[in-house]
Structure 1
Amino acid sequence: MNHYVYKKKLLVTLIVLLILFAAVFIAALIGLNKNYSLFSTGLPVGVENILVMILSVLSMIKVIHEIHRL
């Protein structure tokens, strides 16, 4: 029974992470279109937003992979 509860909590957490990374991706995409920086790291605005979008996509792929492994 504990194994089932653990898997359910893990699945919920992974889905929340997936939604969070999707929201960050959308925010970076909007920032790229409106030319504003998401985190102000000192990089050019376009480069920073593209890097955030790439890392968000890679993170979403990783989360989907972890969900698939359950």
Structure 2
Amino acid sequence: KMEGAFAGNAEKLGHQRFTDMLEMNGLITLLHISRAYLLSVTAQSGINPPVKLPMVNVIKLREKKAQQSQVE
């Protein structure tokens, strides 16, 4: 489980805008860090081949989430 702590200026960003930015930018950032970390740790541990997480299209993932929300 990977977690991140993000902060924003409440006067400049509304709650919804901050949440939207986190869903996109925060998720992308954590995915890249997680992929690199897992690849590095497994390679240095002698696991051959090292574990590689697949790329995730976050934009399509958000679109799918929005469509599912509309159906419910």
TM-score by length of 2: 0.41
Structure ranking higher on relative contact order (CA contacts 8 Å, 6+ apart): 1
Structure label with greater radius of gyration: 2
Looking at secondary structure, tell me which structure has more helix per residue. 1
TM-score by length of 1: 0.42
